[in-house]
Amino acid sequence: MKERYVSILTLFIISLLVLCGCTTNETNKNEAEKENETVSDECGNDVGNGFEIITGPDIDAFEGDVDNPFRSLSVHPTDPDTILVGTEGNGFLKSTDGGNSWERLRLGLRHSELGYPEIYDISWSQSNPEIIYAATTNGPGPVTGSIGSDAGIYKSTDGGQTWVRKNCNIPCSAILSVYVDSIDEDHVFVGVEDGKSTRTGTYFSGGMYETTDGGERWELVELGPLDYQNTYVLFRCSKDEGTLITYGLDSRYDKYSTDDIGFLKSNDSGFIWEEFAPELKSIGVSFFDISSDGSKIYVVAEGVFYISTDAGVSWTNKDMHTGALYFVSVSPADKNRVLFGKDADLYLSKDGLDTFEKVIEIERTGSIHFADIVFAPSSPNIVYAITTGDYPSTPGYNLYRSNNSGDSFTKIVNLRTDVLNVIP
């Protein structure tokens, strides 16, 4: 009987110890989970509501829902039929068959009651096309906190199917441009726009930022005493020579501002930058492109083309007699073949802008123009061009394709009516 009592007592003590241990472990686990929940993300990279896919567009949501493509029409580095387009508030649209069919990609993108952030620019990695970076903005604002923006720099490692933010050490969530090194997929530049938050009135600095570790951390590229208030709206690289150029524009967008940093070039993948073309420093540059060999540069500013045939040493200009002069794109195969938007139409020059002809004419029903023009990197005979316009009064958001280097185009799709309004 005594032995039986001892056995029961021993079993009771063991059970009690096991129960206490489990309870203690569960308590510690719950406390750890609670602590993790309260720790803020210092870089603002948490997915937030990015797994909650919102449908759309709601065409009556707000007046500004015009779905601009900005500079976010992009073509796969090796597949001319794979296209990725960033929208103003509805995420990404992707086609792998030259624009005949589409899918909407939004997983990982944060959003607000007005939709997804504006996707301003997209850059594929040439060395690993599964890696894509997207510059997004909702205007100047913070990247962290309860009133943090949904925007900033996003990265995909699966060809655009899913996205994560990479904002560590970025001072402002307004990103307008991005460029991935053609050789090193972890080496990337972004152009950050400075300005005051419309929500809080707080000032956020900008500038050119660089990462060498795939976006885990960014550092300011020091370019001058006013680099933080300049916006680097475009990056362009010569295909053969590897010369990378950009233009620093004072964020006040005053074409007479003496605070513009102006044109910069790097011949070593962006490690050393030097100024060039001082005569174009304060003329309000809006677009530019560079030939594959780096010798020819075409610049658009206030309805005038500025052209250099010696890599920016000297310049001539050609007045197009209109303030509505838009995007310019140079063929990778022919530095004298240029496509550009003028008023609402698209023009082609085969002789370096000495002469040009209209290749797409659009009925003028409102504010509409070509927002982006891209020669397919691997097949320059294939070209895509996209329009923007104030919805619903103008037929914007049309995507066109050329199979003969821009001699003629065929309309493929209206991304608003044929894709966004069809795919939930």
User: pLDDT digits over 112-167, tens only?
Assistant: 877 899 999 999 999 999 999 999 998 899 888 765 679 999 999 999 999 999 99
Chain segment 113-128, per-residue pLDDT in tens: 778 999 999 999 999 9
Mean pLDDT of 218-240: 90
From the CB of residue 175, how many other CB atoms can be counted at a distance below 10 Å?
A: 29
* DSSP three-state, residue 104: strand
CA distance 234 to 253: 15
The band of 14, judged by pLDDT with boundaries at 50, 70 and 90, is: very low
Q: What is the pLDDT of residues 326-363, one digit of tens each?
A: 899 999 999 999 999 998 899 999 999 999 999 999 87
For residue 225, give the nearest of 254, 270, 176, 260 by alpha carbon. 260
> pLDDT above 90 covers what percent of the chain?
61
Tally of CB atoms within 10 A around 207: 26
- In angstroms, the CA 372 to CA 84 distance is 12
Residue type present at position 226:
L
Structure tokens at 180: 């991935």
pLDDT in tens, 205-217: 999 999 999 999 9
What domains are defined for the chain?
45-221 (2.130.10.10)
Nearest Cα to Cα of residue 352 among 405, 297, 280: 297
- Contact by Cβ (8 Å): 332, 377: yes
Cα(248)–Cα(356) distance, rounded to whole angstroms?
A: 29
Of 300, 296, 291, the C-alpha closest to 247 is: 300
Higher pLDDT, 302 or 381: 381
- Mapped onto helix, strand or coil, the DSSP state of residue 227 is helix
Q: What are the Cα distances from residue 40, in Å, to 145, 146, 163?
A: 8, 10, 20
Q: Please, are residues 334 and 377 in contact by the beta-carbon 8 Å criterion?
A: no
Q: Which of 58-62, 121-125, 318-322 has the weakest average pLDDT?
A: 58-62
Q: What is the mean pLDDT of residues 370-396?
A: 86
* pLDDT score recorded for residue 392: 58
Residue 366: band (very low, low, confident or very high) from pLDDT cuts 50, 70, 90: low
Distance in angstroms (rounded) separating the CA atoms of residues 230 and 130: 31
pLDDT on residue 8: 39
